[in-house]
């Protein structure tokens, strides 16, 4: 697993992928938060907090992470190197986990420079340095959990086709359904109780709950379950392909 993990990280940083992903993520967030006028702009928002950043980041990662993971297995399948992975002295589950951790690490590296936003926003308050750290830490933690779900979904999508564009589109659609789809459907229902149940199936509600700075085991279990479920589906799909 460690060998696959190292190979993934090395492949990201020896190609333009890592630099493009990190640069694009920081540029998009920077433009919307500090330059473009609108509801995401911190100066126009009127409050010195990072809530707008954590509203924006899940949508940006919804596209970026499938863009990273689309080649995970689809490229191996297209180049015919997937069979080599099956005969190597490493289990399929270790291969999947190595690719998953490699991609998640890249996402976390992209997120790290945004810590400077925390300092910048804390200096913008009426009292300098008076920033409520609980919601900020909760939001960062929730973002990492959300990225782990996106990554497992994207890796699963990459096993569905040897065409990377198809894998990317499938990954984006699945991430969108899991993040916002259930909440969107819940708005169409008139039964309040059913609407709440449908909404609770989506990642957005659990992400927003953690972003309040309160760690609820139900939210943690939800993210861990979704991640584990799609990694399991990836494993099943690869074993079917190996038959």
Query: Is the per-residue pLDDT at 222 higher than 70?
Result: yes
- Rounded to 5°, angle at Cα 86 from 80 and 91: 145
Alpha-carbon gap, residue 139 to 135, rounded angstroms: 6
Q: Which pLDDT does position 72 carry in this prediction?
A: 86
Query: Is the per-residue pLDDT at 81 higher than 90?
Result: no
Q: Which pLDDT does position 91 carry in this prediction?
A: 83
Q: Which pLDDT does position 125 carry in this prediction?
A: 67
| Among 96, 97, 136, CA closest to 115 | 136
How much is the average pLDDT of 44-71?
A: 85
Of 6 and 141, the structure prediction assigns the larger pLDDT to 141
Query: Is the per-residue pLDDT at 143 higher than 90?
Result: yes
DSSP 191-231: -HHHHHHHHHTSHHHHHHHHHTT---HHHHHHHHHHHHHHH
How much is the average pLDDT of 190-213?
A: 88
Lowest mean pLDDT among 27-31, 123-127, 151-155, 234-238: 123-127
Confidence category of residue 181, pLDDT binned at 50, 70, 90:
very high
Query: Is the per-residue pLDDT at 38 higher than 90?
Result: no
Q: Whole-number mean pLDDT of the chain?
A: 86
Alpha-carbon gap, residue 149 to 130, rounded angstroms: 32
Q: Which pLDDT does position 126 carry in this prediction?
A: 66
Confidence category of residue 243, pLDDT binned at 50, 70, 90:
low
Query: Is the per-residue pLDDT at 107 higher than 80?
Result: yes
| Among 8, 23, 54, 37, CA closest to 213 | 54
Share of the chain above pLDDT 90, in %: 38
């Amino acid at each position: 697993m460690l060998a696959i993990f190292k190979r993934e990280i090395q492949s990201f940083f020896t190609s333009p992928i890592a630099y493009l992903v990190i640069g694009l993520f920081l540029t998009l967030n920077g433009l919307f938060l500090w330059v473009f006028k609108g509801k995401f702009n911190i100066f126009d928002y009127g409050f010195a907090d990072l809530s707008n950043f954590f509203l924006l980041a899940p949508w940006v990662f919804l596209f970026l992470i499938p863009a990273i993971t689309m080649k995970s297995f689809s490229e191996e399948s297209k180049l015919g190197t997937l069979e080599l992975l099956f005969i190597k002295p490493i289990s399929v589950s270790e291969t999947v986990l190595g690719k998953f951790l490699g991609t998640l690490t890249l996402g976390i590296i992209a997120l790290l420079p945004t810590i400077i936003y925390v300092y910048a926003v804390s200096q913008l308050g009426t009292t300098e340095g008076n920033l409520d750290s609980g919601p900020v830490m909760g939001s960062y933690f929730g973002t990492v959990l959300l990225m782990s779900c996106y990554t497992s979904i994207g890796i699963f999508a990459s096993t569905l086709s040897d065409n990377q564009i198809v894998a990317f589109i499938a990954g984006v659609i699945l991430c969108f359904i899991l993040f916002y789809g259930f909440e969107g459907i819940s708005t169409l229902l008139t039964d309040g109780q059913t609407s709440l149940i449908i909404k609770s199936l989506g990642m957005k509600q659990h992400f927003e709950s953690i972003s309040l700075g309160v760690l609820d085991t139900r939210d943690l279990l939800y993210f861990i379950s979704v991640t584990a479920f799609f990694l399991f589906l990836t494993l099943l799909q690869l074993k079917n392909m190996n038959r």
